[in-house]
Amino acid sequence: MKHLQLGKAGVTDNFIETLKTYFKKNQNVKISVLSSARSEGSEGKKEVKKYSEKILKELGDHYTSKIIGFTIALKKWRRARA
């Protein structure tokens, strides 16, 4: 499993390309959302959810995510998920 950090730049094209290269060799990737990229408390949780939705939109149908605290766990599937 690979670990990645999401900083104040947010979800950029370069970040998505890095994720795609990680998924060539790994099925699971964890993304830690740093405090510079989010607010504290419940507002920060909403921002993490928005990041997760944006990442899934960019990656496509073969990926799912699970949010644990301020960490996004991504999984790649062989078949597209609904």
Question: Which domains are seen in the chain, by residue range?
Answer: 2-76 (3.30.110.60)
Indicate if the pLDDT at residue 63 is higher than 70.
yes
Indicate if the pLDDT at residue 81 is higher than 80.
no
Indicate if the pLDDT at residue 82 is higher than 80.
no
Q: Give 43-49's long-range contacts (Cβ < 8 A, gap of 24+).
A: 44/70, 45/70, 48/72
Give me the DSSP letters along 29-65. Answer: EEEEE-GGGS-SHHHHHHHHHHHHHHHHHHH-TTEEE
| Verdict on whether the full-model pTM lies above 0.85 | yes
Per-residue pLDDT of 28-58, as tens digits, reads 999 999 999 999 888 999 999 999 999 999 9
Exposed/middle/buried for 74, CB within 10 Å: 0-12, 13-18, 19+? buried
